[in-house]
Amino acid sequence: MYDIETAIERISGHTVLCVGDLMLDEFVYGEVSRVSPEAPVPVIAAKRSEQVIGAAGNVARNIASLGARCLFISVIGADDAGAAMKSAFTAYRKTIEPHLVVDRSRPTTRKVRFVSEHYSSHLLRADWETAKPVAADIEAELIELVVAMLPRVGAVVVSDYAKGMLTPRVIRAVIDGAHKLGKPVVVDPKAMDYAIYRGATIITPNRKELAEATRRPVATHEEVAAAAADLRRMVESRAVLVTLSEDGMLLYTEGAAPVHVPAYAVRIRDVTGAGDTVVAVLAALLAGGIDFESAMRAANAAASVVVGKPGTATVSAMELRSRILPSAALAAEEKIALDWAVADERVRGWRAQGLRVGFTNGCFDLLHPGHVKVLAKARAECDRLVVGLNGDASVRRLKGPTRPIQDALARADVLAALEAVDLVVVFDEDTPLELIKRLKPTVLVKGGDWRKDDVVGRDVVEAEGGHVVLVDLVPGHSTTRIVERSATPPTAAKHAKPPKSGPKVKA
């Protein structure tokens, strides 16, 4: 087995090519409290909506969120949805390089989902799409892009949603071209005839797709393994990874016993795009030469993260590492939100219960008694306390190149273990202003060494009817001072004069 922690750390050095069908995913969230008088259907009182890049685009987003670079090739229509896609990709300009071929003969695929927030369930989906093969000129343009991109990447994903972009010729160009350059190819299949994927390195059908492709029963793990063996021979792949939803995953490789891993026990909020996350993690890790079983176990962990988020979600390298190498206690793990969407949902739930949400922030590097007492005082000012934690890059900018002493995940673990802390949210900016704008806490808590007028986010909180509270600091405690003392030679420390009073701590 490979050193998975090292493999995750190295993902940022990899580039992955993703080729596949692109969709605009829209989510309309609201509450259902009555049935329509016009027909026996529920009426959703829409509260908010969001648009995200979906399908193969979500694979690209996951590759980017893991820290790798993604070269992305797909097709869009000459319409408003296509323009929205182009605009959406600008937010990923540093991590995704999109090559979007415009096909004027078809619309951009668009799916709108209506979701009940109270029950975390989908009520209805509306689709706009044309599922037919692209014309020869579009096909030729796609193949030209594939040939140009392949030398720049370490692995390839073929994300087939059966919308017509991935014709047999395009798929053949991807797989054959990748093989010539020694690049692994991960295929997420949807075609009726799996023979078009011949030569893929690893193929990832779900249970239903495996049964349809092989015409074999797949009720038990033994039947799944037998069908996977048939599929491997059929497509001449090195491995088959079958996703089994709540039953986990099963890996079949030639000459080895099948390996089954159970699903993580998590609260499922939305399974949309979980398969995209699986192939993204596989490709990002295979680009670094990891073995199939280690890659599968990581993909299984990643899937458990995204199904716990609303909508078409992604997983970060930190979230993946946290799930594979979990916190010391489950309670602490559940109190860490590395994705702001998770924090949004948690805070909305508290507000629905009429609870006052407080917020404070800091670097919290080398947690000391001063921190603990300030956090306890902050918790006394509210019903639930959210702690904004500076990410590693943010700490380096604020404290210098030798900090932090502990990485963000380690600092979050320690904070989450405190009874006073209800949620830890990591942010990478120098200040928590954007996080405060998003969470809109009722109480903003800072140390007594601040003036109220200088507190970041004060205007945001007060505009929402909240207020700022300054709590007294505990003298004599400072992370910087601890670091300085630890770097002082013992003999020098023995003769050093103690400070008259310790510096104030910035929590």
Q: Is the dihedral of CA 415, 419, 420, 424 positive or negative?
A: positive
How many CA atoms within 13 Å lie on the side-chain side of 206? 11
Instruction: Tell me if residue 276 is catalytic.
Output: yes
Q: Which two tokens stand for residue 9?
A: 């750390």
CA–chain centroid gap for 312, Å, is: 9
Contact 265, 233 (CB under 8 A): no
Instruction: Classify residue 206 by its DSSP letter.
Output: B
**Sequence-separated (6 or more) residues with CB below 8 Å from residue 312:** 25, 27, 52, 53, 54, 58, 272, 273, 276
Q: Report which secondary-structure segment, H or E, holds 142.
A: helix 136-149
Bridge partners (DSSP) listed for residue 202: 186, 239
- DSSP line for 100-129: EEE-TTSPPEEEEEEEETTTTEEEEEEEE-
Nearest to 78 by CA among 120, 34, 40, 130: 130
Among residues 276, 365, 392, 422, which one is catalytic?
276
Sequence-separated (6 or more) residues with CB below 8 Å from residue 3: none
Q: Which helix (H) or strand (E) holds 388?
A: strand 384-390
Tell me how far the alpha carbon of residue 335 is from its chain's centroid.
17
Residues 6+ apart with CB under 8 A from 253: 232, 238, 239, 240, 292
Task: Give the chain's count of helices (H) and strands (E).
Answer: 19, 19
For residues 360, 361, 367 and 372, what is the CA-based torsion angle, rounded to 10 degrees? Answer: -10
Total residue length of the chain = 507
| 98 cis-preceded (ω within 30 degrees of 0) | no
Nearest alpha carbon to residue 346 among 269, 237, 281, 292: 269
152: helix, strand or coil? helix
Distance CA 398, CA 404 (A): 10
Burial of 189 (0-12, 13-18, 19+ CB in 10 A): buried
132/139 Cα distance (integer angstroms): 12
Residue of 5, 2, 1 whose CA lies nearest to 324: 5
- Residues with active-site annotation: 276
